[in-house]
């Protein structure tokens, strides 16, 4: 193994894969680089669910030169027939001599079988190079494929004193343009964007990616226990993106029919007064919505957090102080009695976004 060159080519494959984030539906993002005699002869990225995987594109570019070459793949080549044929067979047919894999595929249909198949056919396989980066890149896929539950990223913007709006409800704008542009990219990278009915009633948001940021629009998901959503709301009248409303079993049937007639999809979750959020997540997973960007208000954020349903938190903080005891905060829930019970974030990072900062991390749940 030439670790220096191997790392270079695997990094290139990972860089290419990242460019397709948000385009592959519930599939992982994968890159592949084929190298022979110190020369790149094929590159490929998985671009869309149901189309050729990264290995297929790279091998097509390499052609007959692939024989005896090394293929660098960011995720274990699949070994099963899905919407496309298994990639490990393509590598075998191409007669590559060596395959370097960043990480194994957590998909129960693969889970080491692709690597085993390659080795059975005499191909040298090495696993683990830059595997941590590959797993981080596919954190949404990794959760969904093993649990059938969406990976939920909470994105919120607040002032330094933790307010997401003023005491009058004004929230335009908490953060600057650089942070807001990043949020539109985040929307593109998730299959769904979720808010509570309070956000819709207060702001009437479009919940789409911005026109000048080339991107796919996520499914709009509104938690609306008693179906207060107006038929005139943007998420109803604007057909740019699909809209799903989640209500309880108690919600008014007549209003439900009006929304359905207007083109809105409806999910019922829970028989009580409030939506059963764990059940809602299960039902969204059944619809193959594998990742959700949560942009809720304090109550929805608090409810999702206390239910242990948030996988990642991205908190944008503006260098502003607005005060106000009645001003809404990032999380609105009963809270814990002692500091030792607080939900902590691990693997935290701090990044600059214009004048604002973004603190991100993964919540550790001890209370759920």
- What pLDDT is recorded for position 110? 79
Residue 211 above 60 pLDDT? no
Does 273 qualify as catalytic in the annotation? no
199 belongs to an annotated ligand binding site: yes
Residues 287 and 350 in one domain: yes
User: Using one digit for the tens of pLDDT, what is the confidence trace for 116-125?
Assistant: 999 999 999 9
Residue 111 is assigned to a structural domain of this protein: yes
pLDDT tens-digit readout, 36-93: 999 999 999 999 888 889 999 999 999 999 999 999 999 999 876 666 678 899 999 9
Q: Is 238 found in the same domain as 130?
A: no
Is residue 202 domain-shared with residue 325, that is, in the same domain?
Answer: yes
Measured from the Cβ of residue 298, the count of other Cβ atoms closer than 10 Å reads 21
301 is in an annotated binding site: yes
Please indicate, yes or no, whether residues 267 and 307 belong to a single structural domain of this protein: yes
Radius of gyration of the chain (CA): 23
Q: Same domain, yes or no, for 111 and 259?
A: no
Task: Provide the pLDDT for residue 1.
Answer: 58
Helix, strand, coil fractions of the chain, as percent rounded to 5: 30, 25, 45
Instruction: Give the domain extent around 127.
Output: 6-141
Do the annotations mark residue 334 as ligand-binding?
no
264 with 353, same domain: the answer is: yes
112 has pLDDT over 90: no
* CATH (domain of 27): 3.40.140.10
Residue 131 within a domain: yes
Strands (DSSP E) contained in 57-141 are 70-73, 98-101, 124-127
- How far apart (Å, rounded) are the C-alpha atoms in residues 41 and 20? 21
Question: What is the domain count for the chain?
Answer: 2
What pLDDT, on the 0 to 100 scale, is given for residue 111?
A: 79
Domain final position from 91, 119, 141: 141
What distance lies between CA 58 and its chain's CA centroid?
25
What percent of the chain is modeled with pLDDT above 70?
Answer: 96
SS3 315: strand
**The whole model's pTM is what?**
0.93
Neighbour count for residue 53 (Cβ, 10 Å): 28
Of 56, 50, 49, give the one whose Cα is nearest residue 32: 56
pLDDT tens string 145-191: 999 999 999 999 999 999 999 999 888 889 999 999 898 889 889 99
Last residue of a domain, one of 96, 113, 141: 141
The answer on whether 107 is annotated among ligand-binding residues is no
Kindly report the backbone phi and psi dihedral angles of residue 218, in degrees, each rounded to the nearest multiple of 5, phi listed first: -75, 165
Residue 171 assigned ligand-binding role: yes
Find the CATH number of the domain harbouring 321: 3.40.430.10
Question: Tell me, what's the pLDDT at 283?
Answer: 98
73: in domain? yes
| Residue 1 placed within a domain | no
Enter the DSSP assignment of 231. Answer: T
What are the backbone dihedrals phi and psi of residue 192, each rounded to the nearest 5 degrees, phi first?
A: -135, 155
Residue 197 and residue 118 share a domain: no
User: Which of 92, 116, 141 lies at the terminal end of a domain, its last residue?
Assistant: 141
39 by DSSP, 3-state: which? strand
Catalytic-labelled residue, pool 18, 55, 65, 273: 55
Are 75 and 138 spatial neighbours (Cβ–Cβ below 8 Å)?
Answer: yes
Identify the band that residue 215 occupies on the pLDDT scale cut at 50, 70 and 90: low
Q: Which residues pair with 360 in a beta bridge?
A: 314, 349
pLDDT 10s digits, 28-48: 999 999 999 999 999 999 998
Residue 282 above 60 pLDDT? yes
Query: Looking at the structure, do residues 218 and 304 belong to the same domain, yes or no?
Result: yes
Q: Tell me: do 266 and 199 sit in the same domain.
A: yes
């Amino acid at each position: 193994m030439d670790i220096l060159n191997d790392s270079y080519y695997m990094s290139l494959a990972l860089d290419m894969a990242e460019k397709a984030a948000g385009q592959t539906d519930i599939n992982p993002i994968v890159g592949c680089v084929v190298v022979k005699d110190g020369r790149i002869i094929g590159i490929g990225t998985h671009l869309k669910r149901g189309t050729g995987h990264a290995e297929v594109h790279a091998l097509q570019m390499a052609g007959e030169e692939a024989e005896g070459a090394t293929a660098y793949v960011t995720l274990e080549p699949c070994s099963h027939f899905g919407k496309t044929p298994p990639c490990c067979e393509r590598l075998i047919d191409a007669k590559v001599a060596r395959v370097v894999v960043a990480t194994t595929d957590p998909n129960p249909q693969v889970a080491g079988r692709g690597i085993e198949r390659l080795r059975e056919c005499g191909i040298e396989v090495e696993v683990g190079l830059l595997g941590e980066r590959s797993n981080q890149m596919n954190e949404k896929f990794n959760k969904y494929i093993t649990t059938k539950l969406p990976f939920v990223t909470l994105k919120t913007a607040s002032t330094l004193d933790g307010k997401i709006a003023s005491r009058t409800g004004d929230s335009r704008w908490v953060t600057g343009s650089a942070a807001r542009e990043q949020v539109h990219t985040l929307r593109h990278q998730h299959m769904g964007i979720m808010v509570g009915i309070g956000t819709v009633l207060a702001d009437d948001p479009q919940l789409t990616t911005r026109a000048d940021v080339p991107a796919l629009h996520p499914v709009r998901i509104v938690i609306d226990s008693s179906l207060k959503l107006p038929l005139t709301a943007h998420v109803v009248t604007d057909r740019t993106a699909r809209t799903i409303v989640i209500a309880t079993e108690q919600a008014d049937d007549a209003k439900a029919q009006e929304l359905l007639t207007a083109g809105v999809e409806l999910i019922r979750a829970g028989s009580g007064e409030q939506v059963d959020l764990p059940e809602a997540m299960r039902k969204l997973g059944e619809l193959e919505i594998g990742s959700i960007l949560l942009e809720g208000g304090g109550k929805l954020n608090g409810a999702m957090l206390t239910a242990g349903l948030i996988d990642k938190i991205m908190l944008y903080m503006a260098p502003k102080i607005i005060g106000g005891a009645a001003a809404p905060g990032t999380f609105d829930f009963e809270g814990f009695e002692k500091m030792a019970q607080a939900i902590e974030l691990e693997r935290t990072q701090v990044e600059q976004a214009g004048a604002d900062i973004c603190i991100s991390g993964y919540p550790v749940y001890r209370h759920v």
